[in-house]
Each structure stands twice: as structure tokens, then as C-alpha cells.
Amino acid sequence: GQQLNQSPQSMFIQEGEDVSMNCTSSSIFNTWLWYKQDPGEGPVLLIALYKAGELTSNGRLTAQFGITRKDSFLNISASIPSDVGIYFCAGQLDPGNQFYFGTGTSLTVIP
């Protein structure tokens, strides 16, 4: 199966700071999705990306589809305590195929 590597694995930041994380693969992907998961709950879709170079925002979150199509990036501006959770990327090689999930980035926001 495909391996999606997320970095960093974990982050501890002060409230108000900006956050950057990324997801990389050795394969070219057609679609990138970003999710946030709280403990014991299902992942919540944050942003969907469908085109190389695409930059999409959702409030304080901004994600980009890498131009090589092998990576994607998620930025969170002015972090707040409710941003705490695990962020997953998910990639799809071709339409109709399965989504592969990354290893996750755990975010802790210190008030």
C-alpha cells in the first residue's frame, strides 16, 4: 500500500502561534484531503484539494496541493485551544480508488 508520511509527528505550540505541517508521498496523487480527529471520535473533513498548486482556505486553515502532486501542506493561523487534536492527510491516486491516510500530526496548544 501507499505510505503517506506526515511531519512533524507532534507539535507543542503557544496559543496564537501559526502552525505548519505537511504530508509527503512517493506517488503522484489526484486528490488530497485534510482531516482533524479528536480522541475517540471520527475524523472531520477540513479541506479538500483536487488540482496541483491549488490553495484553499477554511477560516484560519489553509491547505495547498503541492505542484509535484506528491505532497500537501496545511497551515493554521493564530492557533486556539480548540485546535488541539490529530491532523491527518489522505490521498487518492485516481478517481474512484481508495484513500490512503497519513501517520498523523498531533497538535497541542498551550494557553
Partner 1 sequence: ETGVTQSPTHLIKTRGQQVTLRCSSQSGHNTVSWYQQALGQGPQFIFQYYREEENGRGNFPPRFSGLQFPNYSSELNVNALELDDSALYLCASGVLAGKETQYFGPGTRLLVL
Under the rule (CB under 8 A), what is the footprint of partner 1? 1, 4, 31, 33, 35, 40-45, 48, 50, 88, 90, 92, 95-104
What is the nearest approach in angstroms of partner 1 to the Cβ of residue 101? 4
What is the nearest approach in angstroms of partner 1 to the Cβ of residue 30? 9
Class of residue 88 by CB neighbours under 10 A (exposed 0-12, middle 13-18, buried 19+): buried
Taking the least distance from each CB to partner 1, the nearer of 2 and 62 is 2
What is the nearest approach in angstroms of partner 1 to the Cβ of residue 94? 10
Please, which residues have CB within 8 angstroms of residue 42's CB and are 6 or more apart in sequence? Answer: none
Taking the least distance from each CB to partner 1, the nearer of 4 and 19 is 4
Class of residue 5 by CB neighbours under 10 A (exposed 0-12, middle 13-18, buried 19+): middle
